[in-house]
């Protein structure tokens, strides 16, 4: 949660154009929370084009009435977007469901129902995300960019979330920080307080996953 930041109407419009979703509380335009919608939809649609099982289904649509193609040749199962057999995409979806601000209990049944509102894949209920057993043992992170520059020239927020308790740190950064600078901040703000995590889930910024 990011609290106490005044939001002007023009800034809200800019953030909406950047696909940043605001939850506004009260009458003064303050941020109650800030969340970036992932690019998963476009990634899923692109991955469908390369999945042989998807195209087998497409070629036999006349025999499988529960599936359909939309105008963009994207496969749906009734109203649910079909997720191809891509382990990275499915892990990301499970992580998103687990980390949802509305998911109070990180159980697999809750995650299944959250996912089932929008997505479908064969055997999805049997693919629960492993749940960490100790706080800050496994974390997820995102980079929120495109924000107005502050007096200290920060223009992005690094969000680090404990997957078990869902407590989070919101670290002001600059989007042009090198990986070495991010490592320093991570050591000072996360490792110093919580120790070294055994697993980091990050799919939206290759800088961290590939080099940190």
Structural domains in the chain, sorted by start? 1-37 (no CATH), 40-126 (1.10.340), 138-211 (3.30.420.10)
d(CA 38, CA 49): 20
pLDDT recorded at residue 212 = 54
Distance of CA 111 to the CA centre of its chain: 14
Q: Provide the residue-wise pLDDT of the chain in tens; the chain has 212 residues.
A: 333 344 445 554 554 544 444 444 433 333 333 333 446 778 888 888 888 888 888 888 777 777 888 888 888 877 777 888 777 777 777 666 555 443 433 444 444 455 555 555 555 555 454 555 567 888 888 888 889 999 999 999 999 988 878 889 999 999 999 988 998 999 999 988 888 887 777 655 555 555 55
In this prediction, residue 4 carries a pLDDT of 36
pLDDT at 106: 42
Structure token pair of residue 122: 């064969």
pTM of the model: 0.40
Q: Residue 80: CB partners within 8 Å, gap ≥ 6? A: 116, 118, 119, 120
Residue 154 has a pLDDT of 94
The per-residue pLDDT for 108 is 44
Strands of the sheet containing 199-201, edge to edge, are 168-173, 156-162, 138-144, 199-201
């Amino acid at each position: 949660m990011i609290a106490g930041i005044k939001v002007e109407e023009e800034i809200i419009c800019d953030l909406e154009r950047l696909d940043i979703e605001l939850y506004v509380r009260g009458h003064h335009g303050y941020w109650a929370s800030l969340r970036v919608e992932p690019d998963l939809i476009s990634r899923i649609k692109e991955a469908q084009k390369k999945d042989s099982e998807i195209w087998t289904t497409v070629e036999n649509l006349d025999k499988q009435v529960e599936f359909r193609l939309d105008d963009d040749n994207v496969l749906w199962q009734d109203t649910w977007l079909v997720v191809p057999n891509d382990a990275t995409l499915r892990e990301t979806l499970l992580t998103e469901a687990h980390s949802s601000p509305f998911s109070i209990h990180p159980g697999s049944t809750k995650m299944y129902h959250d996912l089932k509102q929008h997505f479908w894949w064969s055997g999805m209920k049997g693919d629960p995300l492993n749940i960490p057993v100790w706080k800050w043992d496994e974390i997820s992170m995102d980079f929120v960019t495109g924000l107005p520059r502050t007096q200290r020239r920060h223009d992005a927020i690094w969000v680090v979330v404990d997957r078990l308790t869902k407590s989070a740190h919101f670290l002001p950064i600059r989007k042009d920080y090198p990986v070495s600078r991010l490592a320093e901040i991570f050591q000072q703000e996360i490792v110093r307080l919580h120790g070294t995590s055994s697993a980091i889930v990050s799919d939206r910024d290759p800088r961290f996953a590939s080099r940190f």
